[in-house]
Amino acid sequence: MRAMRFERFGGPEVLEEAEVPGPVAGPGETLVAVEAAGVNFGDIKQIAGEHTEGPYAPRGPLPHIPGMEVVGRTADGRRVLGYVRQGGYAARAVVADRDLVVLPREVSAGAALALLVQGLTAWHLLRSVARVRPGESVVVHAAAGGTGSLAVQLAREFGAGRVIATASSEEKRAFALEIGADAAVDGEAGGYRERVLDANQGQPVDIILDAVGGPVLDSALDALGFLGRLVTYGASSRQTATALLPSRLAVESISVGGFWIVPLIARDGAGGKELEELLGLTARGRLRPLVGAAYDLGRARAAHEDLLGRRTPGKLVLRP
């Protein structure tokens, strides 16, 4: 079968097209003929060799086929969305049954792929970690990105009283307003507290979802109100936060939590009620996943380069 694989660690240039034997499903698994595969930063980190241990680590000796999300057909004709432990950049992939869900007819492949890692992340940030309550104010950093844009919409769906988006450009802030944010502001660290409080009608906020880290996270703590919660799920700034002192958390009665979707999927599987809820909301038009460019499987290098360069918004998709 057709596949993209890497025989050594490195950048996008190490991805090579190859003809390889097709996978065989074992007990509790399903073989899927791949219609589309999702592209993630986790794939880039894997082929770069940044994950030698843990859920992203390649299994066994190289070469390996990357990719963790697929949409396709089963032998009995079901159109499904599945989380692949490894091997999604291929014409066929094996998916554990607990990581598989049947797609509603109304949901496109790109939208479905945007919901798997990014959508589940947004759902758990709000429901499982921040435990958002009706009427609370929610700030979403990087709100025009894949996870951020879904978090904005889900915060509204879950009853948030006021949703404030941060983004780096006027265009991105306009998009955040279009998908349901009540206000959108620049997310830079300097002047952060003043901008966010002004957007929240002069009041400190209840919840902040942060994937930037560093000075932005430090500044975000200043905007939290009594019993406010900040949830960190990334550090795109590649800088270290310095204001997370236990004494401060106690004195100000604020809390900081963290979340990463991969260990949760490894423990519980991906094909549960949360993913079904996200797909249902999308099928009914209440949730709008941000879908980006589609590439032929053989152009996986270009997809990785575009993702790294942030040249195309939305979920990037490979088609075998």
Residues 200-225: tens digit of each pLDDT: 999 999 999 999 889 999 999 999 99
pLDDT for res 301? 96
Residue 83 lies in a domain: yes
- Which domain CATH number covers 100? 3.90.180.10
Residue 125 lies in a domain: no
Residues 173 and 148 in one domain: yes
Residues 180 and 112 in one domain: no
Q: How far apart are CA 84 and CA 66, in angstroms?
A: 9
Residues 153 and 75 in one domain: no
Residue 126 lies in a domain: no
Residues 142 and 180 in one domain: yes
Residue 124 lies in a domain: no
Residues 173 and 225 in one domain: yes
Of all residues in the chain, what percent are helix, strand and coil, respectively (each to 5)?
Answer: 35, 25, 40
| Cβ 177 vs Cβ 184: under 8 Å | yes
Residue 53 lies in a domain: yes
Residues 163 and 50 in one domain: no
Residues 154 and 70 in one domain: no
- Which domain CATH number covers 228? 3.40.50.720
Q: How far apart are CA 318 and CA 58, in angstroms?
A: 20
Confidence of residue 57 (pLDDT cuts 50, 70, 90): low
Domain count, the chain: 2
Domain range for 10 is 2-117+263-319
pLDDT for res 59? 64
Residue 6 lies in a domain: yes
Of residues 50 and 158, the one with the higher pLDDT is 158
SS3 state at 29: strand
Residues 93 and 186 in one domain: no
Mean pLDDT of the chain: 93
Residue 156 lies in a domain: yes
* Domain-terminating residue out of 206, 229, 258: 258
Interval 14-51: pLDDT, tens? 999 999 999 999 999 999 999 999 999 889 989 998 75
What is the pTM (predicted TM-score) of this model? 0.91
Residues 253 and 139 in one domain: yes
- Measured from the Cβ of residue 75, the count of other Cβ atoms closer than 10 Å reads 10
